[in-house]
A and B are shown apart, each in its own frame.
Chain A
């Protein structure tokens, strides 16, 4: 820590300099008055430093915080880990670049896990940009690190189909009705791994990585509800996760909520398959938990400070 501060003196200088006007204000107007009329831009600045400094610190030192996987993260891991090599698994990527920060690490970890287990991966997307996210994840995980996996034999990108939940309703009973080609335009009958696959019910597990509508909720409503034998696990944004809890565990045996869920799952996957010196790209969520912690603490402090000021003021009025 001290070494970091000494080496990165310029960053420390910038942070301190940027806060000088606030300190001057406190000195001249008093702490309570400053807090009462605090310009929200000061809060913005504090949050910026609360996120930026940990990123920088972790980026320079390479240290991360330990994670203890929760029950749900473990359940998600087990759903995939119990499968055998060659089992078909559907990966539905229903998100877009704005949610990449939360869902990208999950998508990466799911693919890394499935590829390590040598599962047959079927990717599809209900969001137009989901197809892009699939390609990005394949380029990030499979292409560089699993060169023995062959497109069309071990994994396939079925691409985007419009029609929201309608697509789910159809593919659950008849995949070929909507998907006559994959995203590259190859006809289904020419793809080895599509042989014998007629519907989504044949998948051992459905993995839904979703940022909203249509997404995990629709997979529950239109795939798992009518066909309860389907196993669905999901990675969801922090906003979506609370809405999905009512479906756990009967319809949704595994759920990863936000970056924390991603970090826990990442840890499980990397511990099991990454080896001692895991590639840092598989630890993205774990690294992102650092800024998360500091920012959480800042917001908690803000709430406490705001309430102290509020209570003092109320006490005076009485």
Chain B
């Protein structure tokens, strides 16, 4: 029961949705399943949030290395949760001024908005911007002409990098039919055009093949899940 039940639910859920795709009156079941998933994922936040609290409270009580930072996690977590759920500092919606809870929880000027604007946004955006540095160091370290594959990888990146800036355009702007009529046949070699060709030919071909392969991989994986061949996440006993 503990294992066959979930296996049956998996198979039934999946096959019903596959069949529903061909039956007009059931065609919106897929969307319904997606909405249900969102609800379940939102409910699961209780598990995740609880786990987060548990992990960090344990570190604090154990006085584990760096427990002070766990304290910061717990405080910022609980504070944000409280001001967001209780809508601290949120005015009712202008449409319904008599409904105290009708305001948007992320309304400008509310406590939750302050946290969003001055903590969440700068922190996430700066984390994201670290990528600029990492990309430079990766380019320096990994792009070495060790073999044909590596040469193609770095050569293409090189052309795109140049072709997408003003400098690249200037570099090959001498290939101009106005300079010499014969250049009319070679304008394709101008960097900005070369970039477009690489994107529309090789990039298209490569991505298409990858996408076709991925679709086949997803078909096989989904089937294995539905047939109960892949089932490690359903536990044992």
Contacts and interface: CB of A to CB of B under 8 A. Distances in A.
B137 interface: yes
A169 interface: yes
Interface stretch (A11-19, A197-205, A269-277, A293-301): A293-301
9 contacts: A48-B133, A66-B166, A185-B102, A245-B204, A246-B207, A293-B165, A302-B140, A303-B154, A307-B154
A124 B208 CA distance: 30
B104 to A, nearest CB: 8
A297 B167 contact: yes
Interface in B127-161: 127-129, 132-133, 135-137, 139-141, 143-146, 154, 157-158, 161
B161 A296 contact: yes
A310 interface: yes
Contact of A163 (B38, B106, B124): B38
Nearest to B140: A302
A243 B133 contact: no
The 5 closest A-B pairs by CB, nearest first: A166-B31, A98-B128, A40-B137, A302-B140, A166-B34
Contact of A302 (B136, B203, B207): B136
A170 B27 CA distance: 11
B215 to A, nearest CB: 12
Interface in A34-57: 38, 40, 43-44, 46-48, 51
Task: Classify the secondary structure of B's interface with A.
Answer: helix
Contact of B140 (A43, A48, A101, A184): A43
A82 B125 CA distance: 36
Interface in A252-307: 258, 260, 289, 292-293, 295-300, 302-303, 305-307
A26 interface: no
Contact of B192 (A70, A242, A300): A70
A169 B144 contact: no
A185 B103 CA distance: 10
Interface string B153-189: 0100110011011110100000000000000000000
Contacts of A98: 124-125, 127-128
A303 B166 CA distance: 19
B93 interface: yes
Contacts of A303: 139-140, 143, 154, 157-158
Nearest to A184: B95
A299 B125 contact: no
A67 interface: yes
A44 B34 contact: no
Contacts of B140: 38, 40, 43, 302-303, 305-306
B135 to A, nearest CB: 7
A259 to B, nearest CB: 9
Interface in A60-79: 65-68, 70-71
Contact of A242 (B121, B167, B199): B199
A281 B28 CA distance: 44
A169 B31 contact: yes
A162 B35 contact: yes
A116 interface: no
B47 interface: no
A5 interface: no
A303 B140 CA distance: 5
Contacts of A300: 158, 161-162
Interface in B112-129: 120-121, 124-125, 127-129
A250 B124 CA distance: 36
A260 B164 CA distance: 7
Contacts of A248: 200
B34 A163 contact: yes
A30 interface: no
B6 interface: no
Contacts of A183: 104
B17 to A, nearest CB: 12
A68 B168 CA distance: 12
B196 interface: yes
A272 to B, nearest CB: 21
A258 B165 CA distance: 12
A186 B31 CA distance: 25
Given A65-B166, A242-B203, A307-B145, A299 B93 contact: no
B46 interface: no
A184 B203 contact: no
Nearest to B126: A98
Nearest to B130: A44
A78 B80 CA distance: 45
A311 interface: yes
A100 interface: yes
